[in-house]
Chain A
Amino acid sequence: MKYTIRTLIGAGVLATTTALSGMAQAAETIKIGVLHSLSGTMAISETTLKDTVLMMIEEQNKKGGLLGKQLEAVVVDPASNWPLFAEKTRELISKNKVDVIFGAWTSVSRKSLLPVIEELNGMLFYPVQYEGEESSRNVFYTGAAPNQQAIPAVNYLLSEDGGKAERIILLGTDYVYPRTTNKILRSYLNSKGISDADIMENYTPFGHSDWQTIVADVKKFASQGKKTAVVSTINGDANVPFYKELANQGIKAEDIPVIAFSVGEEELAGLDTGPLVGHLAAWNYFMSVESPENEKFISTWKKFIKDDNRVTNDPMEATYIGFKMWGQAVQQAGTTDVDAVRQAMYGQKVKNLTGGMAVMNTNHHLSKPVVIGEIQDDGQFDVVWETDGVVKGDAWSDFIPQSAKLKSDWTYPWACGNCSVAKYAAQ
């Protein structure tokens, strides 16, 4: 009866936090907003991140909190309802007076809360890989930008070790992240000598469950004599039926490898991965990477969630890095004031769970390593390739002509997220 116990505890934690947030203790605590969907379609992914933030807060409080004050979580549920993200952001900042928000998953939810957080000058840590083409003064992007995930992944497919693919199939869910990523990838592939005739692009609705035709099309496209690989930006619930269909139609990774950007340990939890061994994923973190920091993180997580079978994943690491950096910046600034903390964030360093140092750049993106892993039969990934050092996140892609000119730098003299000349340079 592990579910009920866990649930009771979860409900208990939730009840206490909400109860606490109602009391007037503002002077003694630092408030942290947690804006992740706990119901609706995205609850499947976002609940884990809510728990990660709660775990990080608990750990920090054990160490005595920050600036001599205890940290306090204010958990709200935007219910996978995009406009609600904006409303809840306003509520968190104006009513609950939180000092920072950790939250959002889908790009559309981030876009929806963006005007509000900019208007109220809040601070958001966004922990998910995304399509780039954005840099807000009020958001720190701790997930991967396309050049930290998509481009290295495609490079790997084109390389000797990755099987030297000459035809690429871009499969995605029909919304902004896959469409923008694939736009970048298409122009990148063209620059690598792969013509449009050798690129197939296909989009499916959210939660698409009947993959027979598309998988058959993949097979057909792959049987034209050139080595073919699939790049998948399929998101959320649609992945399980997609992988089940791949397995059943007997598509082996040696013949047509599928590399995914949104499939991690958590997504594979509902799948028998035996027939999928060898298919790939590109991330900045895998649970299987061996390092002392990762070992500690995993054991703390399992203890916190009270389930020995729970896995960790990339957005959790991004949340971990973001939280630690924010903590360091607050300590350095000596205050939780958004403008002061923002200045202190630049150049902040935190040890990655996969080794090396993550650094926060002035474009609000991280420098971190990229790893590519193959699915194993135990639902974990084995790293088959990694970057030599860290890769600096790029807010504006070099492979989209209009964006290549743009630069994001929030320090003097630029102080701008999307400019081609510095704001204060001419004086």
Chain B
Amino acid sequence: MPKFKLHLALIVTTFAVLFSSPALAIDFADGVQALNAKSYSDKGRAAEALAATGHERTVTVLTALLNSELFYQKSDGEVFIAKKSGKVYILSSPLTGADLGETKKNALKKIRINNKLRGKLKGLLGGLTLMSADADQRFSAADKVFKASDPAMLGLLERALSREENEDVKSRLTRAHAAIVLEHSKDSSARIAAAKTLANFTNPDVASLLGKLSFLDDNGHPIEKDAAVFAAIKDAHKTVESQLSKWAVLGNLFQGVSLGSVLLLAAVGLAITFGVMGVINMAHGEMVMIGAYTTFIVQDLFRSHFPEAFDWSLAVAVPAAFLVTGAVGIAIERGVIRFLYGRPLETLLATWGVSLVLQQMVRSIFGPTNQEVGNPSWMSGAIETSTGLVLTYNRIWIIVFSLAVLAMLAVIAKKTMFGLQMRAVTQNRAMASSMGIRSGWVDALTFGLGSGVAGMAGVALSQIDNVSPNLGQAYIIDSFMVVVFGGVGNLWGTLVGAFSLGILNKFMEPYAGAVLAKIFILVGIILFIQKRPRGLFALKGRAVEN
């Protein structure tokens, strides 16, 4: 390895310290080398052999393999742990962890793994970390062992169970233990007990296991030959399934509320420009899109200048998006819309044109491809209850954010001077003007406010959707639907409209499918409007008087 800047002294000392038992060390070194096998099944066997050596670096090496950080040198096939750092890789020895300097990318080749091997590695690592000092690690180890369902783990599990004090970990260990006993044991009373234990775990994985064991073969006989055990499995399966379906309703409700919050965010800006001012703004979706691109730019700046503060990027993006889209909105109002007040058809066509211009402008500047907007760490992942109910963090935050935006708007409209002027102008322009309100500027600012709010929605939507020039188009119809349904010019109507449409959609989707559910909702709204032309909550405003 003449290429590498070897830190010889360092390696020699580490060797001296680490390897007090030479026989084990040689086995381990061979084992690591064997991971660089041709076929995936050979790699799997090598990993198993490695786990059996009990060497203290096994966990590190297998974790590196799992995370695709294990490489071999193209020239001689020697195996290294390598971490990417800019254009080069930093090497370290899998045997000792010693730093071996850096090398160019094309000198190395990754040891590839596939899904099957990945599952096996997770199982092995689960077994190896079952006795870890860290409770979180033990917790996930118990789950990995549960999934691997390997009868060889039984002894280890029993030992881990006997010394476990943490209740959460203990329950997961019990679950893994029961699953392995039920699937692999020969003792029918132990298996019946295990089935009863599993019935207490309301979880899709448990349901899956019980379902698998209660299959019938081609002749209609259960594959489980022991009738008593089969009955116990059936019972447990039924209990778990019925519990799960109750939780599924709750999950559905959450999804509905979450879809509602997205609709609310997209529509709330429109509730001002269309609802309060009566402007049919087809470029509303593009305001959302510009907000999302603002998020992208802010994140780009954060990535290049303060990468460590990336989690705060959204806190900067929200006001930035408000200001940018607000300014664009004011420009559109002053430049186009103010000449078209009272002529809804022309407004519709003109803003449609504006929306195409904005889309193509963004496409020309940023390119047509999706831009990557990252999730800050507090928005990734989910609260996963053991019952299979998954509440994703980004959705939770978006629900909170949408309500906060609505509250802010309500405060602006009801408690500020600007809000008062805004309401005055929209209710009676002539009267407001003669009271000394500059109605033109109030129009511009109101439109700016609506657009700015749409921009803020863009920040939120960038977390769950594509950031591409087409982002806005997806939301424009939904937004109009919510505003019309909820009642033109009424923030509360928008709130109720958004959430009821969201929940209705989500409860229909499992039965009707996504396409039909959308159609049903649209037809439903059309029928509803026939009955109540002014939506759920009718309000007086300029739009109504016209």
**Contact pattern, A 252-270, Cβ under 8 Å of B = 1, otherwise 0:** 0111010000000011011
Which of B212, B213, B214, B215 has the most C-beta atoms of chain A within 10 angstroms of its own C-beta? Answer: B212
Least Cβ–Cβ distance between B182 and chain A, in angstroms: 13
Interface flag for B3 (CB, 8 Å): no
The residue of chain A having its C-beta at the shortest distance from the C-beta of B356 within the complex is: A39
Please tell me which stretch of B407-415, B441-449, B469-477 contacts chain A, meaning at least 4 of its Cβ atoms lie within 8 angstroms of it.
B469-477
Given A203-B514, A223-B207, A248 and B114 contact (CB-CB distance below 8 Å): no
Are B392 and A249 in contact, with the CB atoms below 8 A? yes
Chain B residues with Cβ below 8 Å from A248 are 380-382, 390, 392-395
Q: Which residues of A contact B211 (CB under 8 A)?
A: 223-225
Determine, out of B25-33, B164-172, B370-378, the stretch whose residues face the partner at the interface. B370-378
- Is A387 among interface residues, defined by CB-CB distance under 8 A? no
Pick the interface stretch among A102-110, A120-128, A206-214, A337-345: A206-214
Is the contact region of chain B dominated by helix, strand, or loop, or is it mixed? helix
A382 on the interface (CB 8 Å rule)? yes
A39, A245, A253, A376 interface centre (most CB from chain B within 10 Å) = A39
Chain-A contact segment, one of B45-53, B56-64, B267-275, B358-366: B358-366
Q: Say yes or no: A44 contacts B518, CB within 8 Å.
A: no
- Tell me how far the C-beta of A166 lies from the nearest C-beta in chain B, rounded to whole angstroms: 10
CB distance from A118 to the nearest CB of B (A): 30
**Bound CA span A10–B381, Å:** 39
Q: Are A212 and B255 also in contact (CB < 8 A) when A219-B388, A254-B122 are?
A: yes
Does any Cβ of B come within 8 Å of A237's Cβ?
A: yes
Contact B510 A212 (CB under 8 A): no
Partner of B209, one of A4, A225, A271: A225
* Closest A residue by C-beta to B370: A270
A382 to B212, CA, bound (A): 32
Residues in A neighbouring B513, C-beta threshold 8 A: 202-203
B210–A225 touching, CB < 8 Å:
yes
A1-38 interface mask toward B, CB cutoff 8 Å, 1 = contact, 0 = none? 00110110011000000000000000000000000001
CA distance in complex: A153, B461 (Å): 33
Q: Contact at A44–B115, with CB atoms within 8 Å?
A: no
Contact A209–B465 (Cβ < 8 Å): yes
Pair B363/A216 contact, Cβ less than 8 Å: no
Which chain A residues border B112 with CB–CB below 8 Å?
Answer: 382-384
User: What is the CB-to-nearest-CB distance from A198 to chain B, in angstroms, rounded to a whole number?
Assistant: 12
- CB-CB < 8 A to B470: which residues of A? 40-41, 44, 207, 237
B251 at the interface (CB under 8 A from A): yes
List residues 313-347 of chain B with CB under 8 A from any CB of chain A: none
Chain A: which residue is nearest B469 at the CB level? A43
Q: How large is the interface on A (under 10, 10 to 19, 20 to 34, 35 or more residues)?
A: 35 or more
- B354 beta carbon closer than 8 Å to chain A: no
In the complex, the answer to whether B367 meets A6 with C-beta atoms within 8 Å is: yes
CA distance A213 to B510 in the complex (A): 7
Q: Does B506 contact A (CB under 8 A)?
A: yes
CA–CA, A333 and B255, complex, Å: 61
Q: A43-B363, A225-B211, A254-B115 are in contact. Are A240 and B466 (CB under 8 A)?
A: yes
Encoded as 1 (CB less than 8 Å from any A CB) or 0, chain B from 98 to 131 comes to: 0000000000001010111011001000000000
Please tell me if the beta carbons of A270 and B369 are within 8 angstroms of each other in the complex: yes
Is B468 close to A, CB under 8 A?
yes
How far, in Å, is A264 (CB) from chain B's closest CB? Answer: 12
The answer on a CB contact under 8 Å between B372 and A271 is yes
* A47 at the B interface (CB under 8 A): yes
Is B248 located at the chain interface by the 8 A CB criterion? Answer: yes
> B210 to chain A: which residues have CB within 8 Å?
225
> Which B residues, 195 to 253, have Cβ-Cβ distances below 8 Å to chain A?
204-205, 207-215, 248, 251-252
B449-470 residues with Cβ-Cβ distance < 8 A to A are 464-470
Contacts A213-B509, A270-B369 given; does A384 touch B259 at CB 8 Å: no
- CB-CB < 8 A to A224: which residues of B? 207-208, 211-212
Q: Please name the residue on chain B nearest to A208 by beta carbon.
A: B514
Q: Residue A293 at the B interface, CB < 8 A? A: no
Chain A positions 191-239 with a Cβ under 8 Å from a chain B Cβ: 202-205, 207-210, 212-214, 216-217, 219-220, 222-226, 237
* Alpha-carbon separation in the docked complex, A219 to B387 (Å): 13
List B contacts of A39 (CB < 8 A): 359-360, 363
Give the top 8 A-B pairs by smallest Cβ distance, nearest first. Answer: A270-B370, A225-B212, A225-B211, A254-B119, A223-B204, A248-B392, A212-B255, A223-B208
> Can you show 10 pairs from A to B with CB atoms below 8 A apart?
A3-B367, A210-B259, A225-B210, A225-B212, A241-B464, A248-B394, A248-B395, A253-B115, A374-B114, A384-B114
Residues of A participating in the B interface, judged by any CB pair closer than 8 Å: 3-4, 6-7, 10-11, 38-41, 43-44, 47-48, 160-163, 174, 202-205, 207-210, 212-214, 216-217, 219-220, 222-226, 237, 240-241, 244-245, 247-250, 253-255, 257, 266-267, 269-272, 275, 277-278, 374, 376-377, 382-384
Known: A47-B369, A213-B509. 5 other contacts (CB 8 A): A163-B115, A205-B515, A212-B259, A216-B251, A225-B214
